[in-house]
Amino acid sequence: MQLLIDIHQTETMRTILLFISVSLAVSAVYSLDNGLARTPPMGWNPWVRFRCTVDCVNDPENCIREELFMEMADIVASEGYKDAGYEFINMDDCWMSKQRDAQGILQPDPQRFPSGIKALADYVHSKGLKFGLYQDMGTETCDGYPGIWGHIETDAKTYAEWGVDYVKMDGCHNLGPTLFGEGFVNMTRALNETKRPIVFSCEWGFDMRAHNPNYTDIALHCNSMRQYNDVQDSWDQVINILNWYTWEQQVMSQVNGPGNFIDMDFIVVGDFALSFEQAQSQFALWSIMSSALLMSSDLRKMDPKMKEILLNREVIAINQDKLGKMGLMIYSKSPYEVWAKELDNDCFAAVIFSKATDMPHNFTVTMTMLGYPKLPYAVRDVINHKDLGTFVKDKPLSLKVNPSGVRMFKAVPSKKKGFKVY
């Protein structure tokens, strides 16, 4: 089946175009001004794959302990992930001891982190990577470890002394919207006062979603913004997250940009649930939407085809584009959805996503329908690493898309010298 798009046909389309024009009129001027996260943060986090596994006797391989983070740092540094841009080795919940020490200083679990957090951070740094940890803007973390409430300045100082480069702040067991918000503002200040560059990743928007969060305020205080529910090792949940950020794209694109990017939650490529096509889709969609790219999988057992998805530098370059624009959905008519993202140097990228459940179909786009009607563009398939030719105005570009799969391309004005994709 060949489908030619008439973008004026559907009500959905008109609404989406309206959203886009509003978004483009208001540029992303709000940002946490600590000079960090000029492009979406990239790295690894254990949460989806390893959760709160603390029984190192019976399950040493999956246990949250210093060896796990060291092994992941080794792999990220030696197997091409670092070269592709992955930079942070982050801890999530369950790294702490249940008690602070007599001075109120956070402690790691002594059995699982006997060398201490500073030594672990030093190890990660020795691999040319950066180190992150997890805390919670409440009385306890989601899994019942000490929260930061009442200890903001002390903990910020402790992180800096340990050599932490990234802090993820969760929102379980919080004391209500007002104190919660004040806590994040105070934390931003406390981190800045340490003078150590520390990326601040906030679940402020997510945990306050029922209270109409002020996303502008969040963007002013956070480098990375988790605004929606947790990803699971599940295609349905990947789609739920995608739908939410797309539904909110007008608001999100106004607060997203260099210094403060959305975090659509972890990349579950290489875990158990996603097929190859679905894995490709999650990676392409998270990339075009300028989300943080934090893998949460067992890198020791990564399937080579999944690894190829995670290491696709042409896709990553679209995520890491220095303009920092969020890709926007510009077309939706079942079973297809199309996103376009403005890139540096007058280029743009697009993703065609198929929710078809029968078989691969051809889908046709034109430069005009993608919102770029003026120039001829050299188009390159960034997933299959192939030049597709030059397209201008309404010249059709027809691409076969697999069920649950994507096609993704970059378009470069063809008069520009030295056509270079990344």
Q: Which is nearer to ligand GLA, 249 or 296 (CB)?
A: 296
Query: 């002390």: which residue's tokens?
Result: 154
Q: How far apart are CA 156 and CA 194, in angstroms?
A: 7
Q: How far apart are CA 232 and CA 49, in angstroms?
A: 9
Interaction residues for ligand GLA, span 13-32 (CB under 6 A): none
381 given a catalytic annotation: no
Strand, coil or helix: 51: coil
Is the distance from CB of 59 to CB of 279 less than 8 angstroms? no
Q: Which is nearer to ligand GLA, 146 or 257 (CB)?
A: 146
Q: Residues 261-300: x/- map of binding to ligand GLA (CB under 6 A)?
A: ----------------------------------------
Which residues face 201 on adjacent strands? 168, 224
* Closest to 295 in 3D by CA, of 94, 88, 79, 117: 88
Is the distance from CB of 241 to CB of 231 less than 8 angstroms? yes
Residue 203 binds to ligand GLA (criterion: CB under 6 A): yes
Q: Which is nearer to ligand GLA, 264 or 382 (CB)?
A: 264
Here the tokens at position 320 are 């890491």
Closest CB 266 distance from ligand GLA, rounded Å = 8
Here the tokens at position 151 are 């200890």
Q: Which is nearer to ligand GLA, 55 or 193 (CB)?
A: 55
Residue 47 binds to ligand GLA (criterion: CB under 6 A): yes
Q: Residues 51-90: x/- map of binding to ligand GLA (CB under 6 A)?
A: ----------------------------------------
Binding part of the chain for ligand GLA, among 140-148, 214-222, 347-355, 378-386 by CB under 6 A, reads 140-148
Residue 248 binds to ligand GLA (criterion: CB under 6 A): no
**One of 67, 140, 217, 230 touching ligand GLA (CB under 6 A):** 230
Q: Residues 142-171: x/- map of binding to ligand GLA (CB under 6 A)?
A: xx--------------------------x-
Q: ∠ at Cα 114 (108, 120), nearest 5°? A: 75
Q: Which is nearer to ligand GLA, 173 or 333 (CB)?
A: 173
6 given a catalytic annotation: no
Q: How far apart are CA 246 and CA 255, in angstroms?
A: 14
Q: How far apart are CA 8 and CA 11, in angstroms?
A: 8
Q: How far apart are CA 196 and CA 201, in angstroms?
A: 15
Binding positions for ligand GLA, rule: CB under 6 A: 47, 92-93, 141-143, 170, 203, 230
Q: Which residues are part of the catalytic machinery?
A: 170, 230
